[in-house]
Structure 1
């Protein structure tokens, strides 16, 4: 094989290797959002679902026609180690009829002397119920900024989809645990929240 042909072959191999590396890099960046999307669509790993009022109306009618039973909901709250908030459910457990909307509250208090922006992650247990636990309104959909010493009540409007009664792996579950963990928001968002709080009134 001539030197020119060998160089061309080596160049092709190098181009393929470089393209493969770029593709792997792209997949690496896409993996997290794709996995998050997969969890939200399927309820995998206890990821809850987001629903609309119209979805809730349909579920309520289905539950009423089916005479759906009650299920216990347990509310859990924790904070990350670096999060100086007190965060807890207003009520630890509640009984709700499957398919019916219910409103729960959590309270959060900023125990520090500076404004802090937090964001909540969430999941449900047992994992197989994640696809049926639907939230219509939730504080976890947006970042929350609390001023020093500020305490707020935060609502969660939710329902359990009556389709859970058709799932062999989930229909006999008697209690679902809804868990939230508050973390400090990304540094950029936190800094913006602090600047807004420090801005003098006009």
Structure 2
């Protein structure tokens, strides 16, 4: 028995089904494109990928790893055109793993106008980011400095003792915490 050629009705139905399927794929790709930035940020925060540090509440309890010390180095930068001086008070600290520590950074507005900035940060080596935890940091919010104003900004942090049992961090003796301040464009008010 010979099969009959597809009717125009069957072809139209298949074409319509294919079109709907392709439109669905296109919409899914568009949605994924919009969701990729927040999903990537969440991924980095959870895993420490790319040197992204962790964040903890002030009441977090961590056991110190007695006898295990590590060097923390601090780096500071401002983007070109940002009229600030920005530097750590101390460029290195030797800390006990698991102990709370505080580093102070100093920022000064060198301009004759208020300037608002926001700091981005990362940790190197990047695999140590999953174990470097900030409790309090100026980088969590924007900072506004008035003309000529100088401020001391604390960072309260600890290195999670789990770093000592991570094969990827077994040779880590020093962690560098680096900040870069960027200007925040304020909304321009119409004249």
| TM-score past 0.5 threshold | yes
TM-score (norm 2): 0.88
Q: Which runs of 5+ in 2 are unaligned?
A: 1-5
Does the Cα contact within 8 Å between 2:98 and 2:161 map onto a contact in 1?
Answer: yes
SS in 2 for 1:53: coil
Q: SS of the counterpart of 1:103?
A: strand
- What does residue 105 of structure 1 align with? 104
Using the TM superposition, give the Cα deviation of residue 4 of structure 1 relative to its aligned residue in structure 2, in angstroms. Answer: 4.2
Q: Is the 8 A contact 1:68 1:99 kept in 2?
A: no
**CA distance, structure 1, for counterparts of residue 120 and residue 19 of structure 2:** 43
Q: Tell me the TM-score normalised to structure 1 length.
A: 0.83
- C-alpha separation between the residues in 2 aligned to 1:14 and 1:113? 60
Does 2:28 align with 1:32? no
Larger radius of gyration: 2
Q: Which runs of 5 or more structure 1 residues have no equivalent in the other structure? A: 196-202
Q: Indicate the residue corresponding to 1:10 in structure 2.
A: 15
- State the shift of 1:28 in Å: 0.8
Instruction: Give the superposition deviation at 1:2.
Output: 4.0
Asked whether the equivalents of residues 54 and 132 of structure 2 are also in contact (C-alpha less than 8 Å), the reply is yes
Maintained 8 Å contact 1:46/1:125: yes
1:136 matches 2:141: no
Distance (whole Å) between structure 2 residues aligned to residue 159 and residue 101 of structure 1: 5
Could you tell me which of 50, 55, 59 is aligned with 1:50? 55
In the other structure, the counterpart of 1:191 is 187
Which structure's residues are more often helix, by fraction?
Answer: 1
Evaluate the alpha carbon distance shift between residue 29 and residue 68 of structure 1 in structure 2; reply closer, same or farther with a 3 A threshold.
farther
- Aligned pair count? 184
Q: Give the match for residue 171 of structure 2.
A: 172
| Deviation by residue 1:65-108 (Cα, 9 ceiling, x = unmatched) | x4242111100011122422211111111111111111111111
Pair 1:19 & 2:15 matched: no
Tell me what 1:198 maps to: none
Distance 1:111 1:3, change over 3 A: farther
Identify the range of structure 1 (107-116 vs 127-136) with the bigger mean alpha-carbon deviation: 107-116
In the alignment, is residue 126 of structure 1 matched against residue 122 of structure 2?
no
